[in-house]
Amino acid sequence: MANQKNQPSGKGCAVLVVHGGAGAINREKLTASRERQCLSTLEQALRAGFKVINDGGASLDAVVAAVKVLEDAPVFNAGKGSCMTRNGKIEMDAAVMEGTKLAAGAVASITCVKNPVTAARAVLQYCPHHVLLVGGGADAFARKIAEEAGLKIVDPSYFRTKNAEETLKRFLEMEKVLKKKGKRPSGLTTGAGQGDEDKSPAELMELEDLGDIEDFPGIVMPELDKTGKKYGTVGAVAVDRSGALAAATSTGGTVGKDPGRVGDSPIIGAGTFADNETCAVSATGTGEHFIRNVIGHEVSALIRYKGVSLQEAARQAIFVNLARTRGDGGIIAINRAGEFAMHYNTLGMYRGVVFADGSVATAIF
C-alpha cells in the first residue's frame, strides 16, 4: 500500500494542493504519454489556483479555478470526463467550503453545468439558507442563477464521450456474466487512464471472487489492484495570504451507478471540509466508506481534540479510521501554516502541490 514516502516537496510553504483521483494505477500500464498528460493537467490546475492567490485572491476562488481545469480535462473523472450511470446518463457531484465562516455549497446529480464546481460555488454564494441542492432542483437553480453567477449551461450531451459509453457497455456486459455466477460488480473509477488507446480510465470495477479470467470469454477484463478497485474524483485545497482555508471536490461518480447515487464528494465533512482552526480536506475513493467514516471532519477533529499534527491526522484518517470499514482511497489536506498532507492506501494517487514561491511538484506513485 502507498504511504507518505516519495511525496512532492519544495521550498517554503504550500499554497495549493490538488488531486486527480486515487486507485489501482499500474506503473507498467501507465504509458509515458498519458503520464505526461496527467501531470501536465495537474500542473495547469496548480498554476491556475496559484495565480488567484498570487494576485491577492481568496483561497475559495483559487480551489474553484484549479478544479475547473481538472473538470475540463477528459482524462479525469469529473466534468467532461465523467462516467455514466447504468441508464446511460451523466450525474455529477461537487462541493466547496471555506474555513473562515464554515460556509459551504454543494450540488449532487447535476447534469447541465459545464463546471459543476462553479454550481457548488453558486450555492454557497446565492443560497444562504441551503448547503446542498440535488437533481432537478440543482439543475433548475443553476439555470436560474446562471447569468448572475457566471455559470455556463450546456446540453447534457456535452459530457457524453466515447470513452464513457464504451466503459458502461463493458460494465453492463461484465455484470450480465457475473449475475449468472451469483456475483455482482460495483463500478469504481480512477482519476485518469493509463494508456494512449481510447479506453476508459473508468473501466475498473470491484469484482468479488472473480475466479479465473478464463471464466469470462469475450469480456475484456479490467486491471485490478489488490482490492480490485479504482476511483475517480478531483479536488483542491488552498490557503491564501490572509490565512483563510478552502476546499473543493468534484466527481463524475462511479461507472454503472444507480441513478441518484451520491458519493462523498458533495457531503460536507465526508469528502470536502475546511475550517481555518484546523485544516482543509478533499478526498477521493470509495465514497460510501468516506461518508460512513466522515473522513474530512475526522482529520479536523483529530487536530482539534487530540492536538496531533496535520500529517498524523491525515494518516490516521486513512490508515486507521477508513480501515475500520475496509475503505480505500486518499486525501489531500492543508493548514494555515502551509503544511500539507497527501495520504492514500491505494497503489497511487494523482496529486500535486504549488508552493509560495511558485514552484510546482507533481506525483502519481
Residue 218 has pLDDT above 90, yes or no: no
- Under CATH, which architecture does the 14-100+230-363 domain have? 4-Layer Sandwich (3.60)
78-109 tens-digit pLDDT:
999 999 999 999 999 999 999 999 999 999 99
How high is the pLDDT of residue 87?
94
Q: Which residues are catalytic?
A: 233
How high is the pLDDT of residue 214?
34
Query: Whole-number mean pLDDT of the chain?
Result: 86
Q: pLDDT above 70 covers what percent of the chain?
A: 83
Q: Which of 111-125, 131-145, 200-214, 224-238 has the lowest mean pLDDT?
A: 200-214
What's the pTM?
A: 0.88
How high is the pLDDT of residue 11?
53
Residue 259 has pLDDT above 70, yes or no: yes
In single-letter form, the type of residue at position 344 comes to Y
169-211 tens-digit pLDDT:
988 988 888 888 777 665 555 556 555 443 333 333 443 333 3
Residue tagged 498528460 (cell numbers): 37
Which DSSP string corresponds to 88-118?
S---EEEEEEETTT--EEEEEEE-SBSSHHH
The closest alpha carbon to 265, from 134, 100, 122, belongs to 134
Rounded CA-CA distance 17/46 in Å is 7
For range 136-154, the mean pLDDT: 98
How high is the pLDDT of residue 185?
60
How high is the pLDDT of residue 95?
98
Residue 302 has pLDDT above 70, yes or no: yes
Q: Which of 2-16, 43-57, 164-178, 304-318 has the lowest mean pLDDT?
A: 2-16
Rounded CA-CA distance 301/297 in Å is 6
For range 25-37, the mean pLDDT: 81
Residue 54 has pLDDT above 80, yes or no: yes
With residues binned 3-state (H G I as helix, E B as strand, rest as coil), the percentages for the chain, rounded to 5, are 35, 25, 40
The residue that leads in pLDDT, 312 or 11, is 312
Backbone angles phi, psi at 297, to 5 degrees: -70, -30
For range 45-49, the mean pLDDT: 98
Q: Taking a C-beta distance cutoff of 8 angstroms, is the pair 71, 55 a contact?
A: no
In single-letter form, the type of residue at position 211 comes to G
3-state secondary structure of 78: coil
Q: Taking a C-beta distance cutoff of 8 angstroms, is the pair 291, 264 a contact?
A: yes
